[in-house]
Chains A and B, each alone.
Chain A
């Protein structure tokens, strides 16, 4: 059974950078993409992008292109999401998630990491 555990809450100032981790266990890390999803207060879920741990391919949503980077350390089965040039609108809970062989929908999620951007 896949298990995803994320790093703790962060408070950042506008213009800063945040980097969140997602440690994976219970399956072969390189088998499935790691995705990141944003849930801002009062808004819906928004897909940010994914990384293929097997070959390092990254795909990002246009909304976040240029500000988000997803990486992975295959030696520790940990994925990272870095978001730069933070603004108040980036205040949100960020989730890592993975899919299985059935398709690109998310059957396992991390617990979420709250990022607060405030001066």
Chain B
């Protein structure tokens, strides 16, 4: 199974900060990576797929990059509604489909 390692596992940031989260795959997955945002008590919400394609309706401050084994989610200017946990997910090799361990973005 392909393992996804996210870093950091948590971070503290202020409104307006630029935030970067990384996701490393245990083997190459081409660009078959998605990013989700999850808030407490809510279902995850798709932000980005195919490593860098922004889902319709997602603010442009979110961006994704990478291919192969190393991927990045960037929030260019953190907004109050962005405090949440973020997950990456690979869909290149299955079963199983796998998620990263998550990155919790907290208010500084």
Contact = CB atoms under 8 A, between A and B. Distances in A.
A39 to B, nearest CB: 8
How large, as a class, is the contact surface on chain B?
A: 20 to 34
B16 interface: no
Contacts of A49: 95
Nearest to A106: B46
Interface stretch (B20-28, B59-67, B71-79, B86-94): B86-94
Contact of A45 (B32, B44, B45, B49): B44
Interface string A76-119: 00000000000000000001010000111111011110000000
A102 B49 contact: yes
Contacts of B34: 103, 105-106
A11 B46 CA distance: 29
Contacts of B43: 95, 97, 109-112
B44 A47 contact: no
Contact of A107 (B1, B55, B102): B55
B82 interface: no
Chain B residues touching A, majority SS = loop
A117 B101 CA distance: 23
Contacts of A111: 43
Contacts of A32: none
Interface string A15-56: 000000000000000000001010100001111010000000
A113 to B, nearest CB: 11
Contact of B99 (A45, A62, A107, A112): A45
30 contacts: A35-B97, A37-B44, A45-B38, A45-B87, A45-B89, A45-B99, A45-B102, A46-B99, A49-B95, A60-B95, A61-B96, A62-B1, A62-B96, A95-B44, A97-B43, A102-B50, A103-B50, A103-B91, A104-B94, A105-B46, A105-B89, A106-B34, A106-B36, A106-B44, A106-B89, A107-B46, A107-B49, A109-B43, A109-B44, A110-B43
Q: Which 7 A-B pairs have the closest CB atoms?
A: A109-B43, A105-B34, A104-B91, A47-B97, A45-B99, A61-B96, A44-B102
